A and B are shown apart, each in its own frame.
Chain A
Amino acid sequence: MSEQTQQNAPARKPAGRRKAELDPRFASYKGVWVFIEHERGTAHPVSWELLGEGRKLADRLGVELAGVVMGTPGGDTRRFCAEAFRYGADLCYLVEDPLLADYRNEPFTKGLTDLVNTFQPEILLLGATPLGRDLAGSVATTLQTGLTADCTELAIDMENRSLAATRPTFGGSLLCTIVTLNYRPQMATVRPRVMSMPARDEGRSGRIVEHALGMVETDIVTKVLEFIPDNLQDKPQLAFADIIVAGGRGLKKPENFQLVWDLAKVLGAEVGASRPIVQSGWVEPERQVGQSGKTVRPKLYIAAGISGAVQHRVGMEGSDVIIAINNDPGAPIFDFATYGIVGNAMQILPALTEAFRQQIATVKLAG
């Protein structure tokens, strides 16, 4: 993306069909790779989402899809390779070394860079997570290739076999499509929960290509002293919630926010909020939905007193069903919600809570 942007000009002049010959030294670069992110025994779901997307790209190009797994020997690495095959990978590149026990920038950058230089993929995808972005930025700079951040759509331009990566910029007000024409691999990080989770095929398997890290602990300056896990019980888990009830500044007073909690309780839902609510300290920062908060994709999102500013919208518009309660019929949230209620949230929320409670009771009786 453009960094040095001029005032009153497009972010960067779209290059259109700028002709760029692929450097012959990249002619041999083939295949689509997905970095399988995992920490402490758990793979990040974005890895599987990316394999689903990578499969489409690889098929389009007529090449193989590979997973990249890095971790400690004898640990979960083989399990993740097997899982990668089930989600569509044809093969996995595996780097096993005790130094890869926790994520650290130095050994992971070296490992991934070496793999790329040795096996030469044309496309390398990572999740746009803290780990993925830390690693991708380092690897791309080391390789001196192009990296497109936080993509929400990937496609192949068959004319020159290039990856057309589309991503939001300016907080989601605009989208841009970015290509890397004369360098390889073409790298992109992809926003979690945007691509759909592919079907898991138990019967699939593939081959594993092992590669050595070639480092010793003394090469690495940064040491992990400790890992402090978030207490899962009391940390909100918004990103994976199926139902979210969220409140915004339209609720006016912190006391009124209780109405959001009440409805969430009946629905067994997570509670979310717009940024002003978090900034006023009514709820913890983990509950912020939007550009600088969490991206969520629940089956049901109920927004009370939220205007639907683009920075909030980008974080929740992927929800299957959105119910918006707002007293301003012109509020932008009504432009993209599924159902809208024009009214006072302080009256509608309790009514909804009661209606859901009765509904659930009826279902229970019937069941």
Chain B
Amino acid sequence: MHIVVCIKQVPDSAQIRVHPVTNTIMRQGVPAIVNPYDLYSLEEALRLKDQFPGSRVTVLSMGPPQAETALRKAISFGADEAILVTDRAFAGSDTLATSYALASAIRQIQQDMPVDLVFAGKQTIDGDTAQVGPGIAKRLDMRLLTYVSRVDSLDLERREIVVQRRSEGGVQVLKSRLPVLITMLEGTNEMRFATMPNMFRAARYPLKVWDKDAAGIEDVSKTGLKGSPTIVSKVFAPTPKTVKAEIIDTESNNPKDIAVTLLAKLFTRHPNLQAEIGKRS
């Protein structure tokens, strides 16, 4: 079985800052990480590889040359091959253009060995769109299974897969046929700790770097800014709320007095809350 996992390198959003004057993103010193959601998909792929010996896991990323680090990381967890698709032509791609480039690359990978399963992250933490996975599936005409919380069974002979998919108010148990594209729900598994031999392998791994031709891009106008119907017209920091919290303090500074003072304020200013809470007793 051949599994492709799409991963993206993203800045650690918890550490992102906005330049106070120019309003642009300051990435200086912000560490780049593998998109956390992608790790759930990668781990699931590695578990299937463990379950079906002889399987191959190829990780694929599109991004600037620095994204190499993310791919090496995937190798250290146990992926077999890693491909970085990088080309100036891809700069400024939106999700439609990204899914086009990644789908082309997967077609190229297929020529080497047919692909049975593609995994993508549920969404990224920078773009946060959750659109690239579905986009790739449509372009490759694969079945799409998003928000999967569990792979129940996989029958390679009959090419059937049964998964649990999160939906509103419950879980759908779905049966589909390979090839499928799966996005895993977060928290459904935990990434393994890389072994020392795999750390060595990752450090020495000769990464495959593909430009647009190697990735089999047929129509360059479908990539990059040109191939992106959406246009970012403005980037700005959320207006900081100017009114800060009203700090409740009392002379005694004892918790009881503070609580009473707070409640008095709360119920005078928000009578609806008094009604709301009264309703509950």
Residues of A whose CB lies within 8 Å of any CB of B are: 1-16, 18, 20, 37, 39-40, 42, 44, 102-106, 109, 129-131, 133-134, 136-138, 140-142, 144-150, 164, 167-183, 221-230, 232, 242-243, 267-268, 285, 291-292, 299-300, 309-311, 320-324, 329, 333-343, 347-348, 350-352, 354-356, 359-361, 363-364, 367
In the complex, the chain B residue whose C-beta lies closest to that of A321 is B270
Q: How distant is B143 from chain A, measured CB to nearest CB, in Å?
A: 5
Please, how many angstroms separate the alpha-carbon atoms of A177 and B134 in the complex? 23
Which listed residue (B26, B93, B245) contacts A324, Cβ 8 A? B245
Pairwise interchain contact A7-B236, C-beta atoms closer than 8 A: no
Please, how many angstroms separate the alpha-carbon atoms of A230 and B16 in the complex? 36
Given A1-B94, A172-B238, does the pair A339, B246 have CB atoms closer than 8 Å? Answer: yes
Query: What residues of A have a CB within 8 angstroms of the CB of B128 in the complex?
Result: 1, 149-150, 167-169, 171
- Whether B20 sits at the interface, judged by CB under 8 Å, is no
In the complex, the chain B residue whose C-beta lies closest to that of A137 is B134
Query: What residues of B have a CB within 8 angstroms of the CB of A299 in the complex?
Result: 272-273, 276
Pairwise interchain contact A3-B244, C-beta atoms closer than 8 A: no
Classify the interface of chain A: helix, strand, loop or mixed.
mixed
Interface 9-residue window, one of B42-50, B110-118, B252-260: B252-260
In the complex, the chain A residue whose C-beta lies closest to that of B66 is A7
In the complex, the chain B residue whose C-beta lies closest to that of A336 is B241
Pairwise interchain contact A133-B241, C-beta atoms closer than 8 A: no
Query: What residues of B have a CB within 8 angstroms of the CB of A367 in the complex?
Result: 278
What 9 A-B pairs come out closest when comparing CB atoms? A137-B134, A146-B229, A340-B245, A268-B280, A171-B13, A351-B255, A149-B129, A355-B259, A146-B230
Residues of B whose CB lies within 8 Å of any CB of A are: 8, 11, 13-14, 16-18, 24-28, 62-64, 66, 90-99, 125-135, 137-139, 143-147, 162, 164, 166-177, 186-187, 224, 228-238, 240-241, 244-249, 253, 255-256, 258-260, 262-263, 265-267, 270, 272-274, 276-278, 280-281
Pairwise interchain contact A178-B16, C-beta atoms closer than 8 A: no
Which listed residue (A170, A181, A309, A310) contacts B126, Cβ 8 A? A170
Pairwise interchain contact B168-A15, C-beta atoms closer than 8 A: no
Please, how many angstroms separate the alpha-carbon atoms of A230 and B166 in the complex? 10
Given A4-B90, A164-B233, A175-B237, does the pair A149, B130 have CB atoms closer than 8 Å? Answer: yes
For this complex, 21 residue pairs linking A to B, each with C-beta atoms less than 8 Å apart, are A3-B62, A3-B97, A4-B224, A10-B235, A12-B235, A20-B231, A129-B168, A136-B131, A141-B131, A170-B13, A171-B13, A178-B231, A222-B176, A230-B170, A292-B186, A299-B273, A338-B246, A340-B246, A341-B247, A350-B255, A363-B278
Pairwise interchain contact A148-B230, C-beta atoms closer than 8 A: yes
Given A223-B175, A336-B245, does the pair A354, B259 have CB atoms closer than 8 Å? Answer: yes
Query: What residues of B have a CB within 8 angstroms of the CB of A333 in the complex?
Result: 245
Pairwise interchain contact B138-A141, C-beta atoms closer than 8 A: yes
Query: What residues of B have a CB within 8 angstroms of the CB of A173 in the complex?
Result: 13, 16-18, 25, 237
